[in-house]
Structure 1
């Protein structure tokens, strides 16, 4: 089995040489690499979750440093860290439930289960009571609250052997559960375009006029899905200078039989009054609703706002990050 550091170095080299491009491909490769890290990590007896967290953090820092611009890498690292904490808290809650139902006759087992930290139980209770949301999905629970304390060293040799066996079983279950969660994340990344495209018929209606800018695979698949449902609509594609990726998208749309017209970026404001909806892709969606998108999207958004045209941004969950994007605008008055 390849060494973890060798896999990390190979992945970093591919990122720097642009052999892996695009948010979806980068996110998937990052998740697969972190799955390898978790699989090969040797968990210590005293602090199961913390050893996994430290290993994932160390690898994540190297990946983020290799390509700070690709925000999907940091997002996937945070998602995996959350999975580890969540599975550890779930394991702690299960042990507490077993403790409540267990018999008082087995003193060794009772003492072993009492080793669970109160902080882990409190964190689990808070996590259970809160409704699922973007914040609870991506927020970081402190490491100290998730790491259980080592069990009591008291008891006879039989109790110690049983305690060690149960601890080893919990360690294996923790790794297994985390790996399963990462597999689900990879599956989610793989199917993000299909899941988004499935909602196309709910947003695009008959004889509507759609405006988009540049080239986005998510937008392309979204429009294809609406066309396959026999929806007749027209698409205006702003060319997206300076790379002019709009020409690439327009050619692909025409190939599927969609009515497509390429317009210059400067013509967006003149055409927006004829448009029913603006649909664009994005590099990342921030926690406060801000969007990092290709050049020209801000102009399109302002035009849509001016004419009260619905503005739809399509992006997979791997592009949703917890960073808050704020723009500070300074104005100065200078006397001349």
Structure 2
């Protein structure tokens, strides 16, 4: 399968080189790569469903290991895993609980489609006495069932890609329930979900003002403020250092997120924890907008989770102006000036007031329930073992 392998390897290289940024772009491209992989994967004569599951898991492990921030952007098969809740059904096996969940809680997902297929998906081996006509019939039947299996799985992946593409629209539909007349909203950085959320409230005849912290050193807040003003919202740009001074005038903080951890904590652009602390100090609601594809089953203390990565120092200062400070002038051989440019902040769950997802609003303590709906407990156990 040279074409499939080259497609996966090309995507892995882009992840490792940080050519793909943002959890939404990463999740959507991952689903598209897996869709192509499933379509071109050659399956054995027997146990085709099991073989396809293992192949997708193997590719998923490679993508997670290559992901820019320790696996925080979710891969496609993770978003479609079964719900296994053994606490509610202690006397039942994991398989029985999963089957009950599929039939009563939600429509089938990619994982349930594979599990529902019988282990003997393909036709058993034919005997030598069966004749050529019988062998051709068996082979045709096997090819038909293989195509049906792949078709069902690809349809599920297509639904996932559609959900990822439209999640900001579903979140924006809830804007009128949370933004009221003459309020002052504060946000940090730039997020398409936040943009559509605020503009949706404006379209519902809500009149409010938006404070946008500029989000140094990348200054993504400038682009957000320009777009909001172009779409008719009263917008004010403030420096990041002015957040605490202005927070007393704010009614609500609305921000986006890079990932949502299993404990309800948030991985967000750098500076977000400062905003959350200021909001808590002045009892201002801190609301996070995040699609369910941003849910991560790992905890912040997990050894395989890197809560941050460092960006280029050139975003903070020009090398030419500070070259004398960067010389190795001391005996230890280290430079006199160190430049630290982190990309993300971790916001603990106690600072978050509400999550607004494409499935509705949820408290941070409810994140574990959403994770149970979108992840297989078996996969999480395997992942923990591989990390240890």
TM-score by length of structure 1 reads 0.73
Give the structure 2 partner of residue 41 of structure 1: 41
The equivalent position to 1:148 in structure 2, one of 119, 122, 132, is 119
1:320 and 2:291 matched: no
Distance in 2 between the 1:259 and 1:120 partners?
53
Structure 2 unmatched runs, 5+: 85-92, 304-388
**Counterparts of residues 291-302 of structure 1 (less than 5 Å):** 291-302=266-277
CA RMSD of aligned residues (A): 3.7
Give the structure 2 partner of residue 3 of structure 1: 3
Give the structure 2 partner of residue 108 of structure 1: none
TM-score by length of structure 2 reads 0.64
Distance 1:20 1:47, change over 3 A: same
1:147-196 Cα distance to aligned partner (Å, 9 max, x none): 736899899969x9898877665443322111100000011111112111
Distance in 1 between the 2:43 and 2:150 partners?
9
Give the structure 1 partner of residue 14 of structure 2: 14
Shift of 1:34: 0.2
**Counterparts of residues 86-165 of structure 1 (less than 5 Å):** 122=96, 124-128=98-102, 131=105, 148=119
Distance in 1 between the 2:22 and 2:289 partners?
15
The equivalent position to 2:213 in structure 1, one of 228, 238, 255, is 238
Could you tell me whether the CA contact under 8 Å between 1:207 and 1:232 is conserved in 2? yes
Distance 1:66 1:121, change over 3 A: closer
Give the structure 2 partner of residue 256 of structure 1: 231
Distance in 2 between the 1:236 and 1:27 partners?
30
Shift of 1:257: 2.1
1:206-251 Cα distance to aligned partner (Å, 9 max, x none): 1111011111121112112222222110011112223222222112
1:77-130 Cα distance to aligned partner (Å, 9 max, x none): 3235x27x99xxxxxxxxxxxxxxxxxxxxxxxxxxxxxxxx897365343467
Give the structure 1 partner of residue 51 of structure 2: 51
Distance in 2 between the 1:327 and 1:213 partners?
27
SS in 1 for 2:210: strand
Deviating more after overlay: 146-155 vs 201-210? 146-155
Distance in 1 between the 2:238 and 2:94 partners?
57
Distance 1:278 1:284, change over 3 A: same
1:290 and 2:265 matched: yes
Distance in 2 between the 1:253 and 1:121 partners?
49
Deviating more after overlay: 212-221 vs 42-51? 42-51
1:202 and 2:173 matched: no
Give the structure 1 partner of residue 383 of structure 2: none
SS in 2 for 1:183: helix
Deviating more after overlay: 36-45 vs 200-209? 36-45
**Structure with more of its chain in helix, by fraction:** 1
Distance in 2 between the 1:272 and 1:231 partners?
21
Distance in 2 between the 1:152 and 1:123 partners?
30
